[in-house]
Structure 1
């Protein structure tokens, strides 16, 4: 036996699960848990930047840049917190208890941001950040633990799980916008606090669903041996309470300072994963290298994709002609277009990956496709802003199709990324590796806020500033997509047979 083989960690045995539609039944419980959590998360997504401008800048467009920065920093910290949530699950609490603890904390934060005070609002965002850090990476890791490493259903299972994310994300903006504008407010004066309260209720439903459904996991994600007592839950909860002021401080520090902090965190995480990879042998070391390279390209994807919650929202509100035959398409509903496209296209993409069999594109090539589709969406915006402007507005269909095209890119990248981490990360640190995936996403989201501020400037978005910014986005995405295609053979070699 070689030294590398001797050092390798064997794959743990899986329980026998009954199947529904060809997949382990617990997948569907996790699907619904994630559905409600994403309902909560995306329920507030459309409202955050609009609320910040309306509540804290008295509706002045000059507040758009600051709102974009806050939004980007918030999302960045949501994903960066996943690195700690993954570690807590791996080494301290187990996945199930981490998910339950995170759900409770996140619900508290959602109710807090409904209070119209800027300090309490930002403290509420910090609470959501900490709760989501415990929840998000661990439920994704649980999906991977339902399948063996060589199970061909794995990518398909993650794509189905991704549909749960997007069904919740589709319904949330429509329902919360209706409550805010038609039931408890008006079009001119929406009741944003109702948006936040409704999202808090959705998070409580996620908590209850997982609490009663976890028995079907048959011990997967249970506390580590010797850690079954309740004391560790109390310790983690106290630690979370200490972490909330830290998240609040980082949120207040600003996106530019946060960019350096996140970079240091990513370097530290990379070193820890590489040390563990080296300990397990050459094959695992190379796989960690491959994973880290793909993380870097993941950052580039999310810088521009996450304009959806910041600059695209201001674009939709001010520069898109939303009048459709006398009826005005609500700005919030654009947030649902991505989800509708994902729900519609996810089964097709999952079927295509399975149908292609051995001809299935490699992981780096799927990521390259994601970047290129994202770039194509920005090409459409360039065209609209340069040659389709009428009375200061671009046609409705252009922004609608931007969301659809981006969704195709997302399907080539995001669910594949979740699956990739469970294949390439060291077995003992899969949750930590998943935290790294979300940290790279968080870095992209933070930079997306900086990019959004660049587009809006000091006076708010204009046709000219949007065209300049989105042209830059097009070139960055297209060049990075081509580079990743060229690097694919090298990355595949580092992956040692992982598909």
Structure 2
């Protein structure tokens, strides 16, 4: 959440320039690079580790592992709402980032301890820390540029490249480490991954700690809020939040969490609608349009986040990963396909949108979201083909269907994800932009949690089979394709509700 009522923006310091951008951008770039390295190292290994460590490799553990992964993903996004508020209203962005990085690093080392209660406690630390870190490092990029600086969008693009560079390298490096370090099978080495992630987060913390002086006061606490008393209160709040998150993971579970997230979403929607009604008919229509898109956004991420659960179980058990010379392609390396596809396809798609815009044919926001759903669905169609037509005598499918699925999902992500936050700032009532941002992150959180519930259903009581995978992925294709076509059909109505916003 950010302030939206400041009459004038703060003056931007006259920063030294490097490659045409303020020098602190590159410090933030590397800080985020290492944080994403840590986060995506855990993401690819988490569900696989749960099955290997706490169920001794028994596929019956896939259901619980999927639920934990979904709840973990959901809570990462949900706590980001509070992290933004803490930075904006209490202790400033710099202190929030430092506290979040320190707590997240501690949590990453804790989850390497092979004991279930300790593991869940470590996940709670990671969630609380990342919730304080992630929204605020992104916010600081915008503060390096004046409001009308034409380099702002290019600066965010460079920062986004840092995100994807960390996401790309994390599975490659830690997947290799898990397969190579110590003379034990791959599934026994996930703790090496978590330790490497902890080291990456320490590097992120140190990079920001030594580089923050170059920010020249940007992100410091507001005047009158420089004292350490507020930091102490935030630490107390984090200390209270960790056992609460632990209880959500260990006791309430993904099903109970879905009810909680749903109630929060209904509350946010009600606040937005009441405020919009107070202002007038046009703001009300715009909020309705935004909520419609939020609902489709939940559906997109419900299936996209299968990459950490059902797609991993598919890769580990039902994909032929034998390569030339008898070498086995590590499971974690599949997770690098999406960020690599973003790095390669994002510039191309930007050129396509620009070409269409010059011809006044660029798709509107709801049409881009509809295309995103369709491309996500096409990824599942490829998996359906592989599981129904390409199974060999060993019950394995070739390497390429899962790879193509990741690429198709990435095209879908590029159609909708980059415009999401921008859309919220354009459609939300001016007094509740922060609340609307909370709604956007809640839609991601709900999608993440539903992804775990769906993956649990696909795995069932005894683990994923080719039959259960085909059934679950067929459901994914038909639901995504149907929702995408529906959104494309109702796009003219949604556009009218947006009253000229593009």
TM-score (structure 2 length as normaliser): 0.90
Deviations 1:419-467 (A, max 9, x none): 3334444566555543332221111011101100111111111111111
Corresponding residue of 2:190: 192
Task: For structure 2, list consecutive stretches of 5 or more residues without a partner in the other structure.
Answer: none
Distance 1:414 1:158, change over 3 A: farther
Corresponding residue of 2:385: 383
Deviation, structure 1 residue 224: 3.1
Deviation, structure 1 residue 226: 2.6
Contact 1:130 1:240 in 2 (8 A): yes
Deviations 1:234-265 (A, max 9, x none): 11111011000000011111111111011111
Corresponding residue of 2:259: 260
Deviations 1:246-300 (A, max 9, x none): 0001111111111101111112233344556567766655544433332221110
Distance 1:369 1:278, change over 3 A: same
Deviations 1:471-497 (A, max 9, x none): 110111111112222333343344444
Deviations 1:62-103 (A, max 9, x none): 111111111111111111111211222232223332222211
Deviation, structure 1 residue 137: 2.1
Say whether residues 1:348 and 2:348 are aligned partners: yes
CA RMSD of aligned residues (A): 2.7
Aligned counterparts of 2:186 and 2:173: Cα–Cα separation in 1: 18
Aligned counterparts of 1:363 and 1:86: Cα–Cα separation in 2: 26
Corresponding residue of 2:180: 182
Aligned counterparts of 1:228 and 1:281: Cα–Cα separation in 2: 40
Aligned counterparts of 1:22 and 1:413: Cα–Cα separation in 2: 28
137-146 or 378-387: which moved more? 137-146
Aligned counterparts of 2:231 and 2:89: Cα–Cα separation in 1: 13
Corresponding residue of 2:469: 466
Q: SS state of the match for residue 94, structure 1?
A: helix
Contact 2:265 2:439 in 1 (8 A): yes
Distance 1:215 1:483, change over 3 A: farther
Say whether residues 1:83 and 2:81 are aligned partners: yes
Corresponding residue of 1:12: 9
Aligned counterparts of 2:145 and 2:427: Cα–Cα separation in 1: 14
Contact 1:155 1:416 in 2 (8 A): no
Distance 1:139 1:178, change over 3 A: same
Contact 1:122 1:248 in 2 (8 A): yes
Corresponding residue of 2:479: 476
Contact 1:90 1:429 in 2 (8 A): no
Corresponding residue of 1:117: 115
Deviations 1:159-186 (A, max 9, x none): 4433222111111111112222212353
Distance 1:404 1:126, change over 3 A: same
Q: SS state of the match for residue 115, structure 1?
A: coil
Aligned counterparts of 2:198 and 2:431: Cα–Cα separation in 1: 34
Within-5 A mapping of 1:475-494: 475-494=478-497
Task: For structure 1, list consecutive stretches of 5 or more residues without a partner in the other structure.
Answer: 1-6
Distance 1:474 1:159, change over 3 A: farther
Distance 1:486 1:69, change over 3 A: same
108-117 or 155-164: which moved more? 155-164
Distance 1:188 1:207, change over 3 A: closer
Within-5 A mapping of 1:306-455: 306-325=305-324, 326-357=326-357, 359=360, 360-391=362-393, 392-425=395-428, 430-455=433-458
Aligned counterparts of 1:215 and 1:435: Cα–Cα separation in 2: 30
Aligned counterparts of 2:367 and 2:122: Cα–Cα separation in 1: 39
Aligned counterparts of 1:273 and 1:23: Cα–Cα separation in 2: 37
27-36 or 173-182: which moved more? 27-36
